[in-house]
Structure 1
Amino acid sequence: MAVASTTTIAHASSLGDGNKHLLWYDKPAATWTEALPIGNSRLGAMVYGTPATERLQLNEETIWAGRPNNNPNPEAKEYLPKVRELVWKGKYKEAQDMATAHVMAKTNLGMPYQPFGDLYVSFPGAGKYTEYYRELSLDSARVITTYKADGVKYKREYISSLSENVIMVHLTASKPGMITCNANMTSPQQDVTIKSEGKEIVLSGISGWHEGLKGKVQFTGRATARTKGGQVVSSDGVLQIKNADEATIYLTIATNFKNYNDISGNDTLTSEKTLAEALKNSFEVIKEKHYNIYRKQFDRVKLNLGKDMYAGKTTDWRVEHFKEHNDEHLVETYFQFGRYLLICTSQPGTQPPTLQGIWNDKMLPSWDSKYTCNINLEMNYWPAELTNLSELNAPLFKLIKDVSQTGRESARVMYGADGWVLHHNTDLWRVTGAIDKAPSGLWPTGGAWLSQHLWEHYLYTGDKTFLADAYPTMKEAARFLNQIMVRNPNNTNWMICPSLSPENEHPHHATTAAGVTMDNELIHDLFNHVIDASTILGKKEDKAFTDSLQNKLDGMLPLQTGRWGQLQEWKDDWDNPDDKHRHVSHLYALYPSNQISPFRTPQLTAAARTSLIHRGDPSTGWSMGWKVCLWSRLLDGNHALKLISDQLTLVRNEKKKGGTYPNLFDAHPPFQIDGNFGCTAGIGEMLLQSHDGFVYLLPALPDAWTEGSVSGLKARGGFEVSMEWKNNNIVKATVKSDNGGNLRIRSSVPLAGKGLKEAKGENKNPLFKTPRDVRQKINFPEKIEQMPALKKTYLYDIATKKGQTVELRMKK
C-alpha cells in the first residue's frame, strides 16, 4: 500500500488550526494494539480502519461481571493475630499461607471489566485499495481513515462524542451515491439478543457469571444512520446503507448501573432517549461541540521540544527507531497522548479509568482490568494536577468516597476496627476485602495512598471547601490504621503487621512481613496531612485524635539505609542488590511523596538513587513510567530521558517485556494504561516541580532538549507556569497566580522580574509546606555513594495577588 504523503496528512487534518500531534499509519490495524482508541469516558472504541470490513471494538464503562456485593472474610479477625505471631517468630512463609487460607476474600476476588462487543461495517468493492492512510488526531480527538478504491476517494471520521454520548462514524466519498455498506453488532457475551427495531439495530444482554457470582449488569447498544441521498434499511439485526452521498452511523450503549449498590436503571429507555437526542443534530454539529469541549481541556498545556523532523514517517516506525534518532516530537506526542487518554477516560460523573482505561476486548482480561490500588490506580492520576486537568480527578474522588463507605464493613469484619480499609484491589462494586492470595493481597494501606490524592488536590488548588469535604475520608482512613498498628515484640516501634511491600518477595520466600518501609511512608503522609488539615479547618474537637496520630508518628521506624548503601525496603536489611522487581515501593517517599529530597535529605536521596540504579532501567511499561518520575525527582534529566527511550521501545508481541505498542499504548505487557499516564507525569516533572517548598523551573531538563517551550503546567499553590528555554537555560517564564500568596521560584540561572527578591527563611505560603520530622537512620554511611553535585541554583520570592500574572526573564 502507498505511504501517505505530507499533503495527505495536511488534508486529513483540517479541523481547527491544524493537527500538530497525531498518530498515523499507512496500513490498517492487524491487531488490537494497532487499532486507535477513541472515548468519551463512557463509551470507548478501538478503530481498526480496515477498508473492506471496518471493525470498532466497543466498551461501555459500567459493563462488568457480577453485581453489588462486598467481600470481607469474617475469619480474618480470628486469624490475623495468629498470622502476626508467626511473623514475630520469623515464620514468614507459614504466616503467608495462613493468611491466604483464612484472611483473604473467599466469595469474590473482584469482578472483571468486560467488553460490549463489536460494530462491523462491510463495504463491497473495498478489498482493493490504494493511497491508504489513517490517523488519531490528538488535537481534535478523532480518528480518520482515507483510501482510494475504483477511482473513488473515501474518507471515514470517528468520534466518541463528549457532548452527546454517542460514537459516530461519518462516511464520505469523492463521487455521489458511492456509500453502500452493511453494519451489524456482535458480542462475546453469552446472554445477548440481536434484532432490528425500525431503522435501528439493537444488541442487548446481561453480563456473565464470574467466580460464582451471577452477572446482573443489563446493557443495550443501538445504532442507526443518517444519510444524504440513498436509503437506510434495518433487517434481522443488519443496518443497510445504500447508494448514499454521505452517511453517519450513530451508536450508543447504556446499562442499568446507577452506582455501586444500585442497578435499577433502565438500559433500554436510556439508550432509546440518548440515540433520539443525538439524531437531532448532524455529524458536523456534534463534531464541533465535541471538539470545543475537548479543546477546552486539551489546549491548556502545550509542549514544544523542537521541529518535527520525522513527520513523514509512520508512528510505529518512529517508536521502532526512537533510540536511533533525536525524535523530540515523538516525546511531545507521547506526553499529549497521555493527556488525551485521561480526557477520554475520566470525565466528571463517570467511572475512573481501569487498568486499561475504557478499552478492553477480553471477557477475562489480565488482572480483570480492575482497579489495582498498590500503584496502578494512583498512577493513572499522576498527570491530572500537573498537566492542568484537575477536574478529571472527580471520578477518582468519587471512588475514594465509595470505598470509604464499603471499607467500613471490611475494617469492622476483618480487623474489628473503626474507620475504613482498602486492600490492593477494588472494582465497579467497590469491594474492599483482601483480594487474591496473600503474596499480593495482604496489604491494608490502600486507603492511605488514595487519601494522598485528596491532599494533593488541596495543595494544588488551595480549595478549603474541598478539604473540608475530604477531611472525614482522610480522618477515617487514619483512624483505621491508628487502631491496627501494633508495637513490635521488643516494644520499640509502632508498625503495621502483617503487611507486605507490593508485590516483592523478601529472602524468606514470602512477601508477608512487618513494618515495611512503604507502609511507614504512607502512614507518615496520611497522619501528618490529617493533623495539618485539622488545624487548617479549625477542628479543635479532634485534638485528642490527632495527638494519638502524632504519638504513633513519634514511635515509628525511621527511613533506614542498608548494608550496600540502599534505602531499605523492609525494616530489616533484606534487600538483594540483584533484585530487578518491577515494584519500587519503598521509593514512594521520593515520588509521588516528597519525604526524600536532594535539598533536605541528601543521604536518603543518595540511598534512594542507589536502590534505583540496582533495580535497573528496563522493566514492565508502567514500572519504567514510574522510574521516569523518580529520576526526575533525582534531578537527572538525562537518565529520565533514557527511561523514556526504554519505554518507547516497540512491542509487537506479548513476549517482549515492557515498552510501547504501535498505537502508543503502554506494554506491561499486556496493555496497561498506567504506564502511559506515569510517563506523561514524568515528562511534566522534568519540566516543573513544586513539591519541595518552591516552584522549580526546568529541574531535570535533559541535554538533548536544548530549546523549547511549555505552557500551562500547574504548580502547587495555584500557580500556572509557562516557560521558554534556549541552550538548555530558561530565558522567559510567566506565572499566573490563581490564589495569590508567596511564590518561591528556584532556577538554574539568575532571574529578573518586577517584585522579585532573594528568598530568605521558610516559604510562608502554607501550600508549600514540606514534610516535618522525616526520621532517618543512616546505617553504614561509608557505603552511601554521594549524589552528583547539585547545580548552582537561585532562589527567589515574589508576593502575588489573586489573578496576577508574573513575568520573569533570565538576568543578563
Structure 2
Amino acid sequence: MFSRRQVLLRSASYSGILAVLGSGQPVIAKLLRKTKPAEQHRGKWVLWYDKPAMSWTERLPLGNGQFGAMLDGAPDYEKLQLNHDTFWAGGPYSPSRPGAYKHLGEVQNLLLNNQPLEAQAILEEHMMAMPSRQMPYQSLGELTFKFDGLAETASFSRSLDLETAIARSRYTTAEGVGEWSTFISAPANVMVRRFRATGPAVRRLLIGYHRAAGVQIEASPNGTMIVSGVNRSAYGVDGVLRFCLHLLVNAPGATFEPVAEGLWVTGAQTIEIVAATATNSVNYKDVSADPEALTSALVKSAMAKGVDALEAEHVAEHQRYFRSFDIDLGGTDLSLWPTDKRVAANNLERDPQLAALMAQYGRYLLIASSRPGCQPSTLQGLWNADDDPIWGSKYTININTQMNYWAAEQVGLQACVEPLVQMVRDLAETGKKTAADHWDAKGWVAHHNTDLWRATAPIDRARSGYWPTGGAWLTLHLFERYRYNRDETYLASIWPILKGAAEFFLTSMVVDPATGYLVTAPSISPENKTPFGTALCYGPMMDTEIIRDLFRCTIEATETLGIESEFRDQLTKNIAKLSPLKIGNAGQLQEWPQDWDLQVPEQHHRHISHLYALYPSRQIHPVETPDLAKAAKRTLELRGDGKSEASGTSGMGDFAVRYGASLANDQDTTGWGLAWRACLRARLHDGAGAYESLAKLFSTRRLCPNLFTLHPPFQIDGNFGAVAAIVEILVQQHNGRFDLLPALPAQWQSGWVSGLRLQGEIALEMSWSKGVVTSVRMQSPINQQVLIRQRNRSVVVSLQAKKPVTFRQSKGAQCLEQYNS
C-alpha cells in the first residue's frame, strides 16, 4: 500500500519548494528543473499527481454525458464514485399550486405600496410550490477494487489526459508494476477499465460496491457482476427510479469467485472490465425504461468489440470535440509540476499555462457532462457524491446553469448545448401550468430552479424563489445559439418557446404607478436583500434587462421567419414601456428602480444581477454607452471581489474537512462570482481587473487539487465561467463587430488561439506578440461582411463561403494587412 508516511514526506518536500516560490528568489528555476514529471505524464493537457487522492476533490473525473465516475487511484483499495445523469430523487411530479394567482393582486398592491414583508407573508402561506423543495441529484454509490496482500508501494503516479479522456494510475512494489487505465466511452456508452501487472499474477482482487441506501449485488463464476438499487423519496414525492450497474470481467487464466460483497478475481496479469449503467427514466414524465435489459445489451456488445477497439473509438470521438480548439498563453517550468502542487503554488503569473489548462479543462468537463441525448450539466456537472447534496446539485437558473453554457458555442462545443436546448423545450411545457396557476398568465414561466422532473414553480422561500425570469434567461441562450448557427429551421423550432416566454411577461407585468413603466411583481434581484429585510421587491433592473432582450430577440425571430406581425407590433410597443437603465447617486448602475444600492445590508454580495446588461447581454458597451459602462465599473468597485456571506462549512462533508480552516477567514466571493466578475471586467476592456479576478479564482481558496472550482463547496459553474472569461479577454462580439484582444492583461503578452467560433459560424485563429495581434485567419461557411478591430483600428473583411482570409501585421505597419484570400 501507499503509506501515510510516504504521502507526508512527498508533501513536505514540496512545501519547502513552495516556500521558496513564495519568496520570489531566483533559485526557483533550479528547483523547478528537479521536479519534472515521469515520461508517461508529459503532455500539454494532462493533470497528474504523485500520490492517490485523499478526498473527493482530489479525485479525477470521467464521463460521457450520462455515466460519470470520480477515481481516487489508490493502488491497494481504489474507489470509483459513480453517477448517472438521470438518477435523482423522487419521480414525475407537478409542484405548481392551483389557485395561487388568487392572492397575486394583493401581493402586487402591497409591493407597490412599499410593504414587502407583508407581501412575503402571503406568498409564503399561499403561493409557494407544493412541495417547496425540488428533487436532489443522487449518487449511484462506489465501485471498489481491493487487492489482497499488495506489497508496500515504492512509487506511484496517476493522471488524466484531457486530450484522450483516459485516466491512468501506475505503481511499483518489490514484486513488480501495476497499471490501470480507465475511460468512459460515449459511442459504446460503457466504462472500460484495464489492469496490467508486470511480474507475478494478481493474487486476489475483490470488485465490490457500496451505497449507503443499500443495493443488491449478484455475481457469477463467469465474471459477471450486476448491482441494482432504487432512488429515494424526497419532500413527499415517491421515489420511482431503479438503476442497474452491469459489469463483465475478462481475465485470461483467472478464476472468479462470487461473494456477497462482489466478485473475487484470482491469478490474472491482465484484467479487462466493461461496465454499463442505466435507470428506468425515459424523460421527465416517463419512467418505463428497462435498465437491466439496457445494460446487459451494452456490456455484451462492448466486450464483443474488444477493449483496444473501444479505446480507439472512444479517443477518436472525444478528440472530434476536444481538438476543435487550442490555446497557448505561454508557460514556465512550473507547468511540469504535479497539478496539485501547481495549485498550491498559488502563482498564476509564474504559471500562465495554468490558465490555458483551465480553459481546456473547462471544455473537457463540458464534453464529459453535457452530450446530445443526455441531461444538462448540473451545479456539479455530472459528478455528485451525496444523496442529499448541498443545493440539491440541481439546476439553479438565476445564474449558475446559464454560466455553464456561456462559452460553449465559442469554443467548438456547440453540440454540448443540445441538452440545455432540450431542457428548455421541456420547461416550456411544464411552465405553462405554473404560469396559469401562479400568475394567471399566458405562455410559460420557470422560476429560479429546476430538476430532472422539470419543476418550474417557485421553491425554497419567497425571498429567494419568487423570481419569474429564469426561463426567459434560458430562452435567450436558445436564441444566442441561432446567432451562431444561422439555421432558420432551428429558429422555427424554438419559436413557440420564444413566443410563450414573451407572452408570459405581456400578460403578467403591471404598471408601476410611480413611473408608469411596466414591471415584474413580485420578484427579486437574485438573491440580494433590499434595505427592508427581504429580497422581495418589484421591477428589479435585471428583470427589465432580460425582458428587453427577450422582446428584441422575439421581434428579430418574427422578422427572420416572416411571421406574427401583430405580435411583433405588440412587443415593440411594450419595449418602450420598460424602464431605461439608471445611474444612482454614487455613480453606480442601479440594481432596483429605486436608488437603494448603498443602503442594502450586503454591500459585497456575490450576485451582481443588474450587470447582466453588461455581460452576458450587450446592452452596455464601453464605446457605445460610455456613461452606463462607467456606472457598471463603479458598481464593480463598490461590490468588489470579497466578503462573501455564503462562505461557510455546514453541510459540506469532506469539503469542510479539507477547506474548513481556510474558509473561516475567507474574504473572497464565490468561485462563480469571481468568474462573472472576470467576464464583466473583460467586457469593460479592463484586462488587469479581469486577470485579477481569474487569479483569485485559480488560487487555493477557490481551486481544488483536481482543478474543480469552489463556491465553496464544489460548483462546476466557476470552471465554465473561467472559460468564458478567457475567451472574452481575447475576443468580443458586438453588433457585427469583432474586437481582438480587447482586454489582454500584461501577463499574457504573447500567445495564440485557434478554433474560436464567432457568430455567423465564423472560425477564427489568432496569434499575438507584445500585446499586438500578429496574424488572423477567418473562414465562414457563407458570404458575409464583418468588421474586426484591434487597438482602435478597424478593417472591414468580406468573407466568401469556405474561403479563408488571412491577415498579418507587417513590420512597421500600424494595422493588420490582408495578404491571402
> Are the equivalent residues in 2 in contact too, given 1:158–1:168 (CA < 8 A)?
yes
Q: Which amino acid in 2 is paired with 1:799? A: S
How far is the alpha carbon of 1:560 from its aligned partner? 0.1
Q: Is 1:645 aligned to residue 644 of structure 2?
A: no
Residue 783 of structure 2 aligns with which residue?
A: 740
Q: Distance in 1 between matches of 2:703 and 2:560?
A: 44
Q: Distance in 2 between matches of 1:804 and 1:733?
A: 14
Residue 424 of structure 1 aligns with which residue?
A: 448
> Are the equivalent residues in 1 in contact too, given 2:148–2:204 (CA < 8 A)?
yes
Residue 196 of structure 1 aligns with which residue?
A: 219
From 626, 641, 645, give the equivalent of 2:676.
Answer: 626
Q: Structure 1 491/313 Cα, relative in aligned 2: closer, same or farther at 3 Å?
A: closer
Q: Deviations over 1:689-726 (max 9, x none)?
A: 11343111111111111211110111112111111111
How far is the alpha carbon of 1:293 from its aligned partner? 0.6
Residue 795 of structure 1 aligns with which residue?
A: 794
Q: Distance in 2 between matches of 1:70 and 1:805?
A: 52
Residue 566 of structure 1 aligns with which residue?
A: 588
How far is the alpha carbon of 1:641 from its aligned partner? 1.0
Q: Which amino acid in 1 is paired with 2:263? A: L
Higher mean C-alpha deviation, range 52-61 or range 127-136 = 127-136
Q: Is 1:545 aligned to residue 562 of structure 2?
A: no
> Are the equivalent residues in 1 in contact too, given 2:332–2:350 (CA < 8 A)?
no
Residue 716 of structure 2 aligns with which residue?
A: 673
Query: Match of 1:311, SS?
Result: helix
Q: Distance in 2 between matches of 1:581 and 1:45?
A: 34
Q: How does 1:355-434 map to 2 (within 5 A)?
A: 355-434=379-458
Q: Distance in 2 between matches of 1:650 and 1:281?
A: 44
Q: Is 1:234 aligned to residue 234 of structure 2?
A: no
Residue 598 of structure 2 aligns with which residue?
A: 576
From 603, 616, 620, give the equivalent of 1:592.
Answer: 616
Q: How does 1:73-88 map to 2 (within 5 A)?
A: 73-88=97-112
Question: Unaligned 5+ residue runs, structure 2?
Answer: 1-5, 15-32, 642-667, 814-821
Q: Which amino acid in 1 is paired with 2:769? A: K
Q: Distance in 2 between matches of 1:513 and 1:115?
A: 37
Residue 294 of structure 1 aligns with which residue?
A: 318
Higher mean C-alpha deviation, range 309-318 or range 399-408 = 309-318
> Are the equivalent residues in 1 in contact too, given 2:682–2:743 (CA < 8 A)?
yes
Q: Distance in 2 between matches of 1:614 and 1:729?
A: 32
Residue 555 of structure 1 aligns with which residue?
A: 577
Percent identity over paired residues? 38
> Are the equivalent residues in 2 in contact too, given 1:374–1:424 (CA < 8 A)?
yes
Q: How does 1:159-238 map to 2 (within 5 A)?
A: 159-175=183-199, 177-178=201-202, 180-190=204-214, 192-197=215-220, 198-238=222-262
Q: Is 1:635 aligned to residue 717 of structure 2?
A: no
Q: Which amino acid in 1 is paired with 2:593? A: K
Residue 736 of structure 2 aligns with which residue?
A: 693
Q: Distance in 1 between matches of 2:807 and 2:51?
A: 47
Residue 806 of structure 2 aligns with which residue?
A: 807
Residue 765 of structure 2 aligns with which residue?
A: 722
> Are the equivalent residues in 1 in contact too, given 2:151–2:175 (CA < 8 A)?
no
From 8, 11, 36, give the equivalent of 2:60.
Answer: 36
> Are the equivalent residues in 2 in contact too, given 1:179–1:245 (CA < 8 A)?
no
Query: Match of 2:294, SS?
Result: helix
Q: Deviations over 1:423-454 (max 9, x none)?
A: 00110000111111111100111121011111
Question: Unaligned 5+ residue runs, structure 1?
Answer: 652-658, 749-792
Residue 449 of structure 1 aligns with which residue?
A: 473
Query: Match of 1:244, SS?
Result: coil
Residue 19 of structure 2 aligns with which residue?
A: none
> Are the equivalent residues in 1 in contact too, given 2:335–2:351 (CA < 8 A)?
no
How far is the alpha carbon of 1:597 from its aligned partner? 0.4
Q: Distance in 1 between matches of 2:99 and 2:119?
A: 15
Q: Deviations over 1:746-800 (max 9, x none)?
A: 112xxxxxxxxxxxxxxxxxxxxxxxxxxxxxxxxxxxxxxxxxxxx11111211
Q: Which amino acid in 1 is paired with 2:57? A: T
Q: Is 1:706 aligned to residue 719 of structure 2?
A: no
Q: Deviations over 1:199-219 (max 9, x none)?
A: 212211111110011100111
Q: Which amino acid in 2 is paired with 1:716? A: Q
Q: Is 1:280 aligned to residue 308 of structure 2?
A: no
Q: Which amino acid in 1 is paired with 2:799? A: T
Q: Distance in 1 between matches of 2:750 and 2:75?
A: 41
Residue 654 of structure 2 aligns with which residue?
A: none
Higher mean C-alpha deviation, range 133-142 or range 559-568 = 133-142
How far is the alpha carbon of 1:677 from its aligned partner? 0.3
Q: If the length of structure 1 is used for normalisation, what is the TM-score?
A: 0.91
Q: Distance in 2 between matches of 1:7 and 1:160?
A: 31
Q: Which amino acid in 1 is paired with 2:174? A: D
Number of corresponding residues: 754
How far is the alpha carbon of 1:7 from its aligned partner? 10
Residue 40 of structure 2 aligns with which residue?
A: 12
How far is the alpha carbon of 1:688 from its aligned partner? 1.2
Q: Deviations over 1:353-412 (max 9, x none)?
A: 111111011110011111111011111111211111111110000000000000011111
> Are the equivalent residues in 2 in contact too, given 1:590–1:597 (CA < 8 A)?
yes
Q: Deviations over 1:642-690 (max 9, x none)?
A: 1111001214xxxxxxx11111111101111111000111111111111
How far is the alpha carbon of 1:284 from its aligned partner? 1.9
Q: Which amino acid in 1 is paired with 2:255? A: Q
Q: Distance in 2 between matches of 1:475 and 1:447?
A: 12
How far is the alpha carbon of 1:152 from its aligned partner? 0.8
Q: Distance in 1 between matches of 2:414 and 2:285?
A: 27
> Are the equivalent residues in 2 in contact too, given 1:636–1:700 (CA < 8 A)?
yes
Residue 135 of structure 2 aligns with which residue?
A: 111
Q: Distance in 2 between matches of 1:471 and 1:551?
A: 20
Q: Distance in 1 between matches of 2:207 and 2:436?
A: 52
Residue 268 of structure 2 aligns with which residue?
A: 244
> Are the equivalent residues in 1 in contact too, given 2:93–2:237 (CA < 8 A)?
no
Q: Distance in 2 between matches of 1:412 and 1:171?
A: 57
Q: Distance in 2 between matches of 1:126 and 1:642?
A: 47
How far is the alpha carbon of 1:176 from its aligned partner? 5.3
Query: Match of 1:710, SS?
Result: strand
How far is the alpha carbon of 1:325 from its aligned partner? 4.4
Q: Distance in 1 between matches of 2:783 and 2:35?
A: 48
Higher mean C-alpha deviation, range 599-608 or range 135-144 = 135-144
Query: Match of 1:660, SS?
Result: coil
Residue 283 of structure 2 aligns with which residue?
A: 259
How far is the alpha carbon of 1:739 from its aligned partner? 2.5
Residue 633 of structure 2 aligns with which residue?
A: 609
Q: Is 1:525 aligned to residue 549 of structure 2?
A: yes
How far is the alpha carbon of 1:307 from its aligned partner? 3.1
Q: Is 1:123 aligned to residue 147 of structure 2?
A: yes
Query: Match of 1:287, SS?
Result: helix
Q: Deviations over 1:270-297 (max 9, x none)?
A: 1111111111122221111111111111
> Are the equivalent residues in 1 in contact too, given 2:709–2:718 (CA < 8 A)?
yes
Query: Match of 2:114, SS?
Result: coil
From 448, 457, 460, give the equivalent of 1:436.
Answer: 460
> Are the equivalent residues in 2 in contact too, given 1:172–1:179 (CA < 8 A)?
no
> Are the equivalent residues in 1 in contact too, given 2:678–2:690 (CA < 8 A)?
yes
Q: Is 1:66 aligned to residue 90 of structure 2?
A: yes
> Are the equivalent residues in 2 in contact too, given 1:48–1:55 (CA < 8 A)?
yes
Residue 153 of structure 1 aligns with which residue?
A: 177
> Are the equivalent residues in 1 in contact too, given 2:412–2:756 (CA < 8 A)?
yes
Q: Distance in 2 between matches of 1:96 and 1:142?
A: 51
Higher mean C-alpha deviation, range 318-327 or range 269-278 = 318-327
What is the RMSD of the two structures over their aligned residues, measured on CA atoms? 1.7
Higher mean C-alpha deviation, range 43-52 or range 121-130 = 121-130
